[in-house]
Amino acid sequence: QVHVVESGGGLVQAGGSLRLSCAASGRTFTTYAVGWFRQAPGKEREFVAAISWGQSTYYADSVKGRFTISRDNAKNTVYLQMNSLKPEDTAVYYCNPSGIVTTRATDFGVWGQGTQVTVSS
């Protein structure tokens, strides 16, 4: 079983940048797809971005052109570079590995603690 820990969140002004990390432990997730999801207060968890084991990338329309997902298999880590942040990006961000790319948060039964991203206007 792959365990993940999210980090890199923080408080940033609108227009700023942050880089989130999703580090795996327990076993390598080189052959897994990894997705980033987020949940804002009072809202359902939603898909943000995903990367397949073959490095194909997928983005929600709301973050396309601003966020970039990448992976460093040597470090067993997936990153989410977030640029041009907006107040509506404020949420707790979670990552999760899966056998194939999925954009459905309901496909996962277990979530990590996530990392808080707060964007001030």
Q: Over the stretch 28-60, which tens digit does the pLDDT of each residue have? A: 888 999 999 999 999 999 999 999 999 999 999
Q: Is 6 exposed, middle or buried (0-12, 13-18, 19+ CB in 10 A)?
A: buried
Using DSSP bridges, classify how beta strands 77-82 and 67-72 pair: parallel, antiparallel or unpaired.
antiparallel
User: What is the torsion angle, in degrees rounded to the nearest 10, for the CA atoms of residue 9, residue 5, residue 81 and residue 17?
Assistant: 10
pLDDT at residue 103, as a whole number: 96
Tokens of 117: 């991203």
Contacts of 64-70 with C-beta under 8 Å, sequence gap 24+, read: 69/34, 69/36
Mean pLDDT throughout 10-34?
A: 93
Contact between residue 20 and residue 6 where contact means Cβ atoms under 8 Å apart? yes
Mean per-residue pLDDT of the chain: 95
Residue partners of 119: CB distance under 8 A and separation at least 6: 11, 12, 13, 14, 16, 85, 86, 87, 88, 89, 90
Q: Indicate if the pLDDT at residue 121 is higher than 80.
A: yes
Contact between residue 36 and residue 50 where contact means Cβ atoms under 8 Å apart? yes
Q: Which amino acid is at 96?
A: N
